[in-house]
Structure 1
């Protein structure tokens, strides 16, 4: 197990979230050294323990990643005893992450004001579909709804087909990242004020935050951005192009100087001076024609040779990576972008490393997602519960 050198070493975090948005927030904090105590239902645990297209050896391949670097405590929050223990853990914590529907924590007597009264330095990250206020606050909000309301779904996919999804739970992940940003900002503010605060991270707003100029463009011009498939309208050339043997290559040559290098590499240097392609605006206006011209040229090349040719010419390009490509790639290997972690059942399991890389206090994957309730006795002992007391709680189904 790798030693904890992370910048958040010593930070105590209680995670009360399930599924992706809250737990990914906890994963990031744990990756960078925080002591993340994950509270789970002692009977079923986080649903992520069962998620996955396949279940090798009956276990989810998702859980080792999103549960990594955390300590699991089984605790039934529907019982008074469970909530009392949770309050004791939170009273000693720096950060609480929760992604219940707004109002649930208040119903349990654990709203922000109540928690801050006994732990003024506490930072509470509240993750939800629509935020803690407004007419939609009480609605159930999954990632796909946030992606749609934030504008991402409408512009994703082919123009003649219904909106598509990104292939991952991008809305949940963006919300987790915004929650982490809020937590780190609140920690900095706490250094000055001595007090914590609440972070209200909404799914739809986290998606909206990365929508570039979508709203502003409509406000100023009335243009509503639509689905455009693999291109960005008016940005050319920047697309996926065919190669020999059914392979594909991504080429980005939309800058004037880069396009000139691409034209030279194609053996068509005159294209850079052609009025149809000489400027950014001209290439955008003739995007389809230009893409067809490049595709006709690229289709005669095998992918490895074409990448080598374009790299020598200084043209941004690359293959469309799949998991096998990642495991074999020299750049991934040189930077240890994928690590191999000991697992009690799988033996070894590969997963993405902790990002970004810090030069002095790097993050690390110290252990994969733990067994349900694996650390219950250990964590509860830290708040003064004896082995006998934990055994009694276990007999009652509280832990």
Structure 2
């Protein structure tokens, strides 16, 4: 038994935001049917290197626990297959540009007539309303427009994007939350509904305290690099042999830090006595702390901070992360057999449920790997399926 057993997701998404959402739902036990054009139209299948036996690492990161059906949505018979699937599905997710599903005859009103309980999730760059609704949305563009890049980097670097497609990831997470909320509401009302999610909205929601600071004070925030806008010291420092993060969240932790660096009187300095004082005198304090941290290696500071309950983290490479005993103890790196790529490695799910654990039951599928199985479940016989294949509809 899994948390979402009995829930069927019809997944018409590609790239990252949508596939990431449907993978999470698949991890939780939903049956996910991934729809692509014949041959495989998810762009991430070709994004690389690296590839393993021709299979893209990018594609593998967001597509486990799914079945694959390839179908040509430009044909009437192809559209009819999707309409039949929508009748037996609980959720449909797409990330076509605004208006595309309407042009395909697969809009919410059309599919709702066939299945009033259907939850219809639309993921677009800017949403289905407003003056930007017809613009294409890409994570990098959204990071720029949302203000995220304006606060990422430091004075000398200029605006910086985050190292991953963070707005895609956030939107995928919001989509997963919204879909599960709609499923819960459906148990009460008996009706489905439409969800309209945008990368732009999701990115702006991620401004959290920085956005709130601006709305309250009206002051445009500056790029602070690895420094925190509201807390000091909460930043990176260099040790004698590496880089590390110290994250002091309260005055008690600051007093402990001062003892660790053998400058206990620093906590009594009027410039640094409280967090607002430390924020005001950020540069002076950073200079003092940085000089102290250069005297010892990272491991020394890690041990001392852990002993004193001062939040500390070494800046690790992905090689370090992959070997981290904590992550390995929590099964955050998993292996699976793939029919084309062979043995593959994937990042596991962070969701830990006690009674209905997350399972990686299905490898990320090859294009059309389950087309015959899925069409059989819709009532198509072998002759009909072969005819669809001959006409390149599947």
Which TM bucket (shorter chain)? over 0.9
Partner of 1:154: 150
Partner of 2:350: 355
- Equivalent of 2:24 in 25, 28, 38: 28
Partner of 2:243: 248
Question: What is the deviation of 1:59?
Answer: 2.1
**Of 44-53 and 236-245, the range deviating more from structure 2:** 44-53
**Structure-1 separation of matches of 2:232 and 2:193:** 45
**Structure-1 separation of matches of 2:51 and 2:333:** 21
Question: What is the deviation of 1:60?
Answer: 0.6
1:61 partnered with 2:57: yes
Counterparts of residues 246-285 of structure 1 (less than 5 Å): 247-285=242-280
Does the 8 Å contact 2:91/2:120 carry over to 1? yes
Against the structure 1 CA distance between its residues 325 and 313, is the aligned structure 2 distance closer, same or farther, given a 3 Å change threshold? same
**Structure-1 separation of matches of 2:34 and 2:170:** 20
How far does the alpha carbon of each residue in 1:232-261 deviate from its partner, in whole angstroms, 9 at most, with x for none? 23421111111223x111111241000011
Counterparts of residues 205-216 of structure 1 (less than 5 Å): 205-216=201-212
Structure 2: tracts of 5 or more residues without a match:
none
Does the 8 Å contact 1:182/1:199 carry over to 2? yes
**Structure-1 separation of matches of 2:174 and 2:135:** 21
1:203 partnered with 2:199: yes
Does the 8 Å contact 2:101/2:107 carry over to 1? yes
1:179 partnered with 2:195: no
- Equivalent of 1:125 in 99, 121, 125: 121
Does the 8 Å contact 2:258/2:267 carry over to 1? yes
Does the 8 Å contact 1:353/1:364 carry over to 2? no
Question: What is the deviation of 1:149?
Answer: 2.8
**Of 312-321 and 115-124, the range deviating more from structure 2:** 312-321
**Structure-1 separation of matches of 2:49 and 2:292:** 38
SS at match of 1:15: strand
**Structure-2 separation of matches of 1:65 and 1:205:** 24
- Equivalent of 2:213 in 196, 212, 217: 217
Partner of 1:114: 110
Counterparts of residues 1-399 of structure 1 (less than 5 Å): 5-245=1-241, 247-399=242-394
Question: What is the deviation of 1:139?
Answer: 1.2
**Of 190-199 and 269-278, the range deviating more from structure 2:** 269-278
**Of 273-282 and 357-366, the range deviating more from structure 2:** 357-366
How far does the alpha carbon of each residue in 1:292-346 deviate from its partner, in whole angstroms, 9 at most, with x for none? 2222122222222221121111111011122211221111122112222223344
Does the 8 Å contact 2:16/2:169 carry over to 1? yes
Does the 8 Å contact 2:65/2:361 carry over to 1? yes
Which of structure 1's runs of 4+ aligned residues deviate more than 4 A? none
**Of 228-237 and 257-266, the range deviating more from structure 2:** 228-237
**Of 63-72 and 191-200, the range deviating more from structure 2:** 63-72
How far does the alpha carbon of each residue in 1:249-292 deviate from its partner, in whole angstroms, 9 at most, with x for none? 11112410000111111111111111111110111112122122
**Structure-2 separation of matches of 1:347 and 1:301:** 45
Does the 8 Å contact 2:210/2:229 carry over to 1? no
Does the 8 Å contact 2:78/2:393 carry over to 1? yes
Question: What is the deviation of 1:43?
Answer: 2.4
**Of 76-85 and 53-62, the range deviating more from structure 2:** 53-62
Does the 8 Å contact 1:131/1:202 carry over to 2? yes
SS at match of 2:310: coil
**Of 93-102 and 275-284, the range deviating more from structure 2:** 275-284
Give the TM-score normalised by the residue count of structure 1. Answer: 0.95
**Structure-1 separation of matches of 2:230 and 2:126:** 33
How far does the alpha carbon of each residue in 1:200-239 deviate from its partner, in whole angstroms, 9 at most, with x for none? 0111101111211444433332211121111123421111
SS at match of 2:180: helix
- CA RMSD between the two structures: 1.4
